[in-house]
Amino acid sequence: MNILSFLPRFRAAEKALAELETREAWTREQISAFQLFRLNQLWSDAILHTAHYRNLAKSRSLPGQFTSLEHFQATCPILDKNLVRTGQRDFLSEKAGAGDWYHSGGSTGKPASYFRSKEAHLEILRGRYCGHARWGIGIFDRWAFLWGHAESFSPGLKGAIARCKQPILDHLRSRLRISAYDLSSSSRRSDLELIAKFKPAAIYAYSTAGYLLAKEAKATGFQCPSLKLIVLTAEPVFPHIVKECEEAFGVPTIAEYGSAETGNLAIEWPDRTLRIQEDIFFVETPKREDGRYDIVVTILNSNAFPLIRYAIGDVTDHPIELHNIGFASLRNIAGRHQDLIIGKSGEPLYASWFEDLLEHDDAIRCYQVHQTKSGDLLVSLETKRSDVLPDVTKIQKRFAERVGYGVSVSLVEKLPSTPAGKHRWITSELANEKILPTPN
C-alpha cells in the first residue's frame, strides 16, 4: 500500500470523489447556479483584497454581485494575458495565504508566473482524480510520466533543490518520470524497458512524445499488461496520434487540457467528449474575427490570485457545447504546437528542452527558435530590460551541443505575435513528415 494513503490529504480526497461524481451528473440549471454562487464569492473577495479588481470595480462602477452569469458576461471585461504577465503583484490577494507560484510560457514564448493557494490546488487535483476514475484509474495507481522537468533549469540553489526534490516526490507518488527531452530511437527503447519493468496503470505524456513512443512500441512489439490508459496533453491531440497510441499500447488514449494558470481544466470522458470541470471553471468561447473562438476562463477558486474572464490565449474551431445533464465540452483546442528539432544524428529532440532553458532565464521576456533546412538554429530573444541581458554565448553553446548544428542568437526589441497569440514559437523546416506527420 502507498504510504501517502494514510495522510489526511489523500484520505479526504478519496471521500470527496463520491461528491464530485454527483456534480458531474447535475442538470444545466444546477451547474449554472453553483457557478454563479462561487463566482460572486470570488468577485466579492477580489474587489476587497486584490488591487487590480479593486481599481477595476471603482473605475467602471461594477456591481458588488452579479444577478446571473449573463449579467457577469455583459458587465465584466475580458482580462488580457499580458496585463497579468506585466502586473503579477496587482493580482495577488492581500490575504493569499499558503500556496505556490506556477510558471508558464512555452505556448506563448513569454514566461509568466501565477499563484495558486494550496486549497485551490488540492481541489483541482481532486477533479482530475475523478476524471481518471472514470477510466478505472485510482489515486494511488502507478503512472509513467514522459515529461520534462522545467524547474531543474532554474539557476543556483532553486534549481539544485528541484533536482533533488523531484525524484523523492515521484517515488512517494508512485510515478516513473522519463525525460521527454531525448526522443531518439535508442532512448525510446530504453524508456519502454523501464515502463515494462515499472508496470504502471497509465502513461502521461506530451502528445508528440507519446506519439513517438507509440511508434517505437509498435516497432518493438512492446507489451505491458498493467496499462489501462494513455493520457496526452500540453499539445493538440490529433486523431492520427490517438490511433497510433491505441494500436501500439492496446488501451484507450485520451486528452487532458489545462495550463499553468488553471491546472487541469478538462479531461476526455468515456463518451469521447472533452469535458470541462465546471464546478471549478466557468469557460466562455467568444467568436473571433477569423471565425474561430477564443477560450476565456474564470477560475472559480482562484481567490488568492483571481483570474476572472481571463483570455488564456488558446482558440477552438467550435464554441463550448452545453449539455442538459453533465459538464460542458470543448473541441479542437489549438494551444501550443511546436515542431520537433532534428539533431545532427537525424534523431528528433523535443521542443520542451529548449523552452525550459529559455524560460528560466530571468533576462528573457519571450523567444522564438527556428531550424532551417540546413539544420542551423536561428534564435531570437526579446529581453526584459536593456541593462540586463541574457548570456548569449552560454545559450549558443548549450544549443549547439544539443543539436550538433550551427546556432545564431540575436536580441530583438519586439518579437512578432502569431494570430492566435500562442503556438509555434519553435519551428523546424527540417522536421520530416516521416517523423511526425501533421494533419492538413
Low-confidence ranges of the chain (pLDDT < 50): 106-109, 419-423, 433-434, 439-440
Nearest to 102 by CA among 87, 123, 116: 116
Give start-end residues of each CATH 3.30.300.30 domain in the chain: 341-428
Give start-end residues of each CATH 3.40.50.12780 domain in the chain: 3-120+273-334
CA-to-CA distance for 220 and 171, rounded, in angstroms?
28
- pLDDT at residue number 435: 54
Residue with cell 470541470: 277
φ/ψ bin of 250: left (φ > 0), alpha (ψ from -120 to 50), beta (otherwise): left
CA-to-CA distance for 111 and 340, rounded, in angstroms?
20
Do 236 and 333 contact (CB within 8 A), yes or no? yes
CA-to-CA distance for 342 and 241, rounded, in angstroms?
19
How far is Cα of residue 215 from the mean position of the Cα atoms in its chain? Answer: 24
- pLDDT at residue number 182: 80
Do 431 and 340 contact (CB within 8 A), yes or no? yes
Reduce the DSSP state of residue 16 to 3 states and report it. helix
Residues linked to residue 257 through DSSP beta bridges, in sequence order:
266
Query: pTM for this structure?
Result: 0.76
Do 36 and 68 contact (CB within 8 A), yes or no? yes
| CATH code of the domain occupying 3-120+273-334 | 3.40.50.12780
Where would I find the beta strands (DSSP E) of 198-262? 202-206, 229-233, 253-259
CA-to-CA distance for 118 and 391, rounded, in angstroms?
35
DSSP annotation of 107: T
378 burial level (CB within 10 Å; 0-12, 13-18, 19+): middle
C-alpha cell at 144: 509513467
CA-to-CA distance for 65 and 9, rounded, in angstroms?
33
Where would I find the beta strands (DSSP E) of 355-433? 364-371, 377-383, 407-412, 426-428
- pLDDT at residue number 433: 44
Q: Which amino acid is at 223?
A: Q
How many other C-beta atoms can be found within 10 angstroms of the C-beta atom of residue 118? 13
Q: Which amino acid is at 317?
A: D
- pLDDT at residue number 430: 81
C-alpha cell at 17: 470523489
What's the topology of domain 341-428?
GMP Synthetase; Chain A, domain 3 (3.30.300)
- Alpha carbon distances (Å) from 393 to 64, 142, 235: 53, 42, 31
CA-to-CA distance for 268 and 131, rounded, in angstroms?
8
222: Cβ contacts below 8 Å, ≥ 6 apart: 192, 196, 216, 248, 249
CATH class, domain 136-251, is alpha beta
CA-to-CA distance for 217 and 237, rounded, in angstroms?
18
The pairing of strands 333-334 and 175-179 is unpaired
The pairing of strands 175-179 and 143-147 is parallel
Give phi and psi for 42, each to the nearest 5. Answer: -60, -45
CA-to-CA distance for 105 and 118, rounded, in angstroms?
22
Nearest to 315 by CA among 350, 341, 338, 286: 286
Give phi and psi for 307, each to the nearest 5. Answer: -120, 100
DSSP annotation of 415: P
